[in-house]
Chains A and B, each alone.
Chain A
Amino acid sequence: MFDGIDRSKLFFVAAVFIALALYPSVGGKYGTDLVTKIMILAIFALSLELLVGGTGLVCFGHAAFFGIGAYIAVKLSPEADAASLFWLLPASVLAAALYALAVGSLSLRTKGVYFIMVTLAFAQMAYYVVHDTPLGGGTDGIYLNVKPSVFGPIDLDKPLVFYALTLFWLVAVFGLLAVLARSRFGRALAGIRVNEQRMRATGFSTYPYKLAAFTVSGGIAGLAGFLFAVKDGFVNPELLSWHQSGAVLIMIILGGIGHLRGALIGAFAYTLLQEFFKSEAIFGAFAKHWHLGLGLTIIVSVALLPKGLVGLPAVLKTRLSGSGTRRAEEGAANG
């Protein structure tokens, strides 16, 4: 994430966003819907990347913020009327951020694996509140009857309009996090990730920085949850389950921790791999066992790509040139 402005990376990211903007003209209805979903997951993955890659805090309960954003969007919408996007979206983000503030203020007392498990515990609490109390509508979930209104002729029911809205937020979040990473705040977070003790010794009170990162990250996850709820018009407790927290963590690890574009690549790679192995056109009856292909691909990617998919070009370069200094070059390319 904290790479300086590098031409090739800038070019890569710009190319991805331009391709995404042009995609609906070639992708059909199904493709547009799928890419909308992936972009929402990419926003979710970016929010976690701020914590894991940016600050070195591994959160295993991020689905709670995602789910809260989604549930607030549905619960605050009137039964038969459209709510305005202009207050519904901030409300969802704010609710998720507030929950993140509360969870963060307590769980940041712990470190490492203990932190992972405390964040899981708080996510499970939110899950059971949604799952078992009348607040959340139980296992079946709740429907969003009318999608929020924007203004004038903009109608979120139209897939293309919603695609554009999602892409806008993806670019905005990516931009925000890229700027944040290069700010004083981002540098402080990077310092905490590398050596918190030393940061404290140089006079930084690290706790407020970590808490701020946690809250911002929770808010962005809430934004992704909001978009997810509006896209499908439906929420259920599975959005808050630990499987969801695990999946988003797997996405950013697969893509490559420590790079914003890793979260982007990871979200696409993970979802597309799923779609690929699930495809009956390619695998026929075996598509039912799509987990096997996904699992093996993940294992192979760990074995060959220690830096995630982001490290692929560097690995290919050294493989092709066949030099024995692979390790050093990899370090230099990703350092």
Chain B
Amino acid sequence: MDLATFLIQCLNALQYGLLLFLVASGLTLIFGIMGVINLAHGSFYMIGAYMAYALAPIVGSTFGGGFFATLAVGLVLSVVFGYLLEWVFYSYLYEREHLQQVLMTYGLILVFEEARSLLVGDDVHGVPVPPALSGAIALSDVQQYPVYRLFISGVCLLLALGMYLVFTRTRLGMTIRAGATNREMVQSLGIDISFLYRVVFAAGVAIAVLAGMIASPVSSVYPGMGQSVLIICFVVVVIGGIGSIRGALLAALLIGFVDTFGKVLLPQAAGVLVYVLMALILLWKPDGLFKAG
């Protein structure tokens, strides 16, 4: 492996890992703060990718905009969608047992997949890379790296930074952290915790939808894409330690690198490497790398 190939694989690993982090961060937030095991989280990623495909012509004809206008419209829709979803389906799950939540969100996966099949169909689609980002950077005489992938990494990094600042530097972040520690106490101090949860949930949905939308030009859009990402995201959440954003970032990057380089160096065992990694880490640290607290 020469230097340019190595560099390309590193950038790919970084991009994959950061994308995983985006989806997993919503999962770990909803899990760590509200205590809900949300199996339907992968579906939000799938919904995002399909939105990028299906909304583009509609947005194009009404606003005349391209990829970024679609992104903006999709984000607004997803926040509304997440807000309503929490209200109708999730708000009464908090006091239920975890396994009831598993059952309910499993039902939601089935409904989302079929709704997608009814509305858009079961075909595999491609989403074109926006023209402004379709260039490539030359790394050596023959090898080059697409700008769009760098754009994905950039967006993910910005969002990660934004999340960190909101959580550690703002009043909203403080109340959310307090709510995660003791729901009743925060409620008795006069904070509307159900509204807070609804906002966190909507944000988690929006981030997953955004991840799906920006990933769609490189990953293509296909049925079942939500479920494969869901399992990997659970792996990320658990390796990182439930509820820990920092842990999720580290775990996502770790998995990004192990998976990408595994596929290059040990193609026959690529699928299993991630799980071996998770088993080893959990046997060494049974609560994940960073326990939330």
Taking Cβ atoms with an 8 Å cutoff, the residues of A that contact B are 52, 58, 106-107, 109-111, 113-114, 117-118, 120-122, 124-125, 128-129, 131-132, 242, 246, 249-250, 253-254, 257, 289, 291-292, 294-299, 301-303, 306
Contact = CB atoms under 8 A, between A and B. Distances in A.
B30 to A, nearest CB: 13
Contacts of A120: 231, 234, 275
28 contacts: A58-B98, A106-B283, A110-B286, A113-B98, A114-B238, A114-B286, A117-B235, A120-B234, A120-B275, A121-B235, A121-B279, A124-B272, A125-B279, A128-B269, A128-B275, A129-B272, A249-B102, A250-B103, A253-B100, A254-B103, A292-B111, A292-B118, A294-B107, A295-B110, A298-B110, A301-B103, A302-B100, A302-B107
Given A111-B286, A114-B288, A302-B104, A295 B268 contact: no
A299 B105 CA distance: 8
Interface of B: 31, 37, 89, 92, 96-100, 102-104, 106-111, 113-115, 117-118, 231, 234-235, 238, 242, 268-269, 271-272, 275-276, 278-279, 282-283, 286-288
B272 A109 contact: no
A251 B287 CA distance: 28
Contact of B107 (A125, A242, A299, A306): A299
B56 to A, nearest CB: 25
Contacts of B235: 117, 121
Nearest to B100: A302
A295 B286 contact: no
A167 to B, nearest CB: 28
Nearest first, the 6 A-B pairs at minimum CB distance are A295-B110, A298-B107, A292-B114, A128-B272, A295-B111, A299-B107
A117 B283 CA distance: 11
Contacts of B269: 128, 132
Given A121-B275, A302-B100, 20 more contacts: A107-B279, A109-B283, A111-B286, A113-B37, A117-B238, A120-B234, A121-B276, A121-B282, A122-B275, A128-B275, A129-B272, A250-B102, A250-B103, A291-B113, A295-B106, A295-B107, A299-B108, A299-B111, A302-B103, A303-B104
A107 to B, nearest CB: 8
Contacts of A250: 102-103, 106
B96 A291 contact: no
A194 B129 CA distance: 54
B111 to A, nearest CB: 4
Interface of A (DSSP majority class): helix
A111 B111 CA distance: 31
A56 to B, nearest CB: 11
Contact of B287 (A107, A114, A246): A114
B110 A128 contact: no
Nearest to A58: B99
A298 B275 contact: no
- Indicate the member of B96, B231, B238, B268 with the most A CB atoms within 10 Å: B238
A120 B230 CA distance: 13
Nearest to B92: A303
A132 B118 contact: no
A162 to B, nearest CB: 31
A258 B156 CA distance: 43
A306 B111 contact: no
Nearest to B114: A292
Nearest to A299: B107
B111 A113 contact: no
A99 to B, nearest CB: 14
Contacts of B275: 120-122, 124-125, 128
Contacts of B278: 117-118, 121
